[in-house]
Each structure stands twice: as C-alpha cells, then as structure tokens.
C-alpha cells in the first residue's frame, strides 16, 4: 500500500504523526471504448468551444461562472488558499457514533502511525474505544477542506470523510403516510418475516455477481482465441500547430534531415539574386538568360 497523505492528528496539545491510506479499492474490469469497425481506441480531447483548438493541460485554468460572468482562478491564486498547505487532522469534538448518520459517510482511509513510537496513536485509539466516542475532525485532502469522523477499527484508526450539511438532499416528495393504515395482524406478520431473516452481517458472503460473470466472460473469450490484435494508432495531427507523432518516427526524421545537411554542398557567399541567373544560363542562351534575370531583378525592386 502507498500512503496518499502525511500529516498529524492534533487534539489539545497532543500531536499524532500519521500516514493516510485508502481503505477501499475497486475491482471492476477496466473496459474502454473502441471503434467497432477497426477496434481503434476512442479518445477524448480537451478542446476550446470558442476557438475549436485542442488545449494543452498547462494552458487550462479554472473558472467560476454565474449570471454570464466568469471569475478566472489561476493555480498560483489557489495555491495561496489556507487549506492548500494544511497538514493536520484537527479534532473538533468527540461525539457518540450513533449521532453520525451513515448517509453522511463518503470515503474511508486507514491511519498508520508515522513516528517510531506509536504510543500516542495507541493512546488515542484506546481513548476512543473506552469512551465509545468518535472524533469529528477537519482535514484537507486533495486541496479541499473536509469534515471527517475518526474512529477505532480493530488495531487501527479509520478516517471516514463526511458530506457537509448542505450536501445532504431532503426528499422533495411528501404524503408517504397519508391515508395509510396498518393492521395489527399485518404488523405481526412483518415482524415474523424480519425475525426469520435476521442474522449477523458477514460481508465476505456477498459477491459482485456482475463483475464475476464479466471477468469469466472475458477469460472464456481469451481462451478460445476470440480476440483481435490491438491496432497501433497512426501519427495524428492535432489542432493548431501541435502534432502528436511517434517517438521513433521523430528520431528517424531527425537523422534523415541531419544526413541531408551533411551531404549537401556548402552554400557560396554570392548573393541570392545572382544564383538563379547562373542556373538558368546552362539551359538557355546567354541573351535570353540575361533578359529574364533583368526582369526578375526589376520585379524584386518594385516589390
């Protein structure tokens, strides 16, 4: 596992150096889009809707738009925001875990003690265990200030980011209970059904059937040789002056141009205006050549 963030949990005057690791990962088969006719990959380009050109990432800025007006924010301006450099997991308060609604949970991360001595880390974990409390903390991840819950998870501490209050939507439909009457018998039968299906939750008993069958389908087609050779994309000219070309082709062209320059004779110091006259003299009589040369020289002076 590779840590994605280094910092410290702080509460009171206590500081616990920690490393942050993502606690979850996806195992979906990485499918991509191709052209059905020739199996070429479908790529998406960053294009400007005003000039129509493909824009390199270094020239892309971020903006906030409202009422037809845009505020452009540069990377330099964003880098000076306080949240950008904050490397602390600041404990705000300790609350019962039951008060943190699961609808607020976003992503989960493991915390590992970053110092040689894990005493303060273990002390914090045990304090949360014995008090049956969860720490509500503030942390900056990927340049965004987030609210999170810090709680024990076995021998480790688990950080779960929380959605802000204004990110939780309220149902805009009403009248669910209007005119609904539940009889005692219906309630009793429902309770019996719940009891018959009641057991302890074992996550390992459940599998992603769709992904399992998708992987099996892919493996089956590969074993049968039902595959096509992935085509190599040809050199593509980008919009504007940018060109996307193969590195080997670029090297070959560079060597060819270098060889051509070495084989060509060194240019004479005579003026460019006299050179065409000498070349023309070999193919035509002297009088005609001098006449044509005079006309070209005259036209150049007029231009």
Q: Is residue 100 predicted with pLDDT exceeding 70?
A: yes
Spatial separation of the C-alpha atoms in residues 281 and 290, rounded to whole Å:
8
pLDDT tens for 23-47 read: 988 888 888 888 888 888 888 889 9
Q: What contacts 237, CB < 8 A, 6 or more positions away?
A: 243, 244
CB 72, CB 63: distance < 8 Å: yes
Q: Is residue 101 predicted with pLDDT exceeding 70?
A: yes
- Residue 32 token pair: 């991509």
Residue found by looking up tokens 């609808």 in the block: 103
Spatial separation of the C-alpha atoms in residues 143 and 79, rounded to whole Å:
9
Spatial separation of the C-alpha atoms in residues 275 and 297, rounded to whole Å:
12
Does 5-27+34-167 carry CATH code 2.40.100.10? no
* Residue 271, CB-side half-sphere exposure with 13 Å CA sphere: 4
Q: Give me the pLDDT at residue 242, please.
A: 40
The ranges assigned to domains in the chain are: 5-27+34-167
- Residue 97 token pair: 């875990």
Under DSSP, the state recorded for 293 is: H
Strand partners, 140: 145
CB 300, CB 273: distance < 8 Å: yes
For 49, list phi and psi in degrees, rounded to 5. Answer: -75, -10
Element of type H or E holding 217? helix 209-223
pLDDT tens for 58-90 read: 888 889 898 888 898 888 887 777 655 578 899
From first CA to last CA, the distance across the chain in angstroms is: 71
Spatial separation of the C-alpha atoms in residues 71 and 66, rounded to whole Å:
9
Of the candidates 151, 148, 112, which has an alpha carbon nearest to the alpha carbon of residue 131?
151
267 vs 35 pLDDT, higher one = 35
C-alpha distances (whole Å) from 30 to each of 26, 37, 211, 214, 230 are 10, 21, 11, 11, 15
pLDDT tens for 223-241 read: 888 887 877 766 655 444 4
Length of the chain: 303
- Mean pLDDT across the stretch 84-113? 89
267 vs 38 pLDDT, higher one = 38
CB 62, CB 119: distance < 8 Å: no
């Amino acid at each position: 596992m590779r840590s994605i963030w280094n910092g410290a949990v702080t509460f009171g005057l206590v500081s616990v150096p920690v490393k942050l690791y993502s606690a979850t990962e996806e195992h979906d088969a990485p499918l991509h889009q191709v052209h059905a006719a020739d199996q070429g990959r479908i790529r998406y380009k960053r294009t400007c809707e005003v000039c129509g050109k493909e824009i390199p990432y270094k020239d892309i800025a971020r903006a906030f738009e409202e009422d037809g007006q845009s505020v452009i924010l540069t990377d330099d301006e964003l880098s000076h925001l306080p949240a950008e450099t904050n490397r602390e997991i600041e404990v705000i308060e300790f609350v019962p875990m039951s008060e943190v609604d699961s609808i607020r949970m976003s992503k989960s991360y493991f915390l590992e003690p970053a110092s040689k001595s894990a005493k303060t880390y273990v002390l914090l974990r045990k304090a949360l265990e014995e008090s049956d409390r969860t720490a509500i903390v503030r942390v900056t991840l990927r340049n965004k200030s987030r609210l999170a819950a810090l709680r024990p998870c076995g021998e480790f501490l688990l950080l779960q980011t929380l959605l802000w209050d204004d990110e939780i939507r309220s149902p805009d439909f009403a009248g669910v209970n209007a005119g609904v009457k539940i009889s005692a018998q219906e309630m009793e039968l429902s309770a019996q059904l719940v009891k018959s299906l009641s057991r302890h939750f074992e996550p390992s008993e459940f599998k992603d059937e769709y992904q399992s069958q998708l992987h099996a389908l892919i493996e089956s087609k590969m074993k049968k040789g039902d595959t096509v050779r992935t085509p190599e994309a040809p050199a593509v000219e980008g919009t504007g002056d940018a060109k996307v070309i193969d590195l080997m082709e670029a090297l070959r062209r560079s060597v060819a141009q270098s060889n051509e320059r070495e084989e060509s004779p060194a240019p004479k110091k005579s003026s460019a205006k006299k050179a065409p006259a000498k070349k023309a003299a070999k193919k035509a009589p002297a009088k005609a050549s001098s006449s044509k040369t005079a006309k070209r020289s005259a036209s150049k002076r007029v231009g």
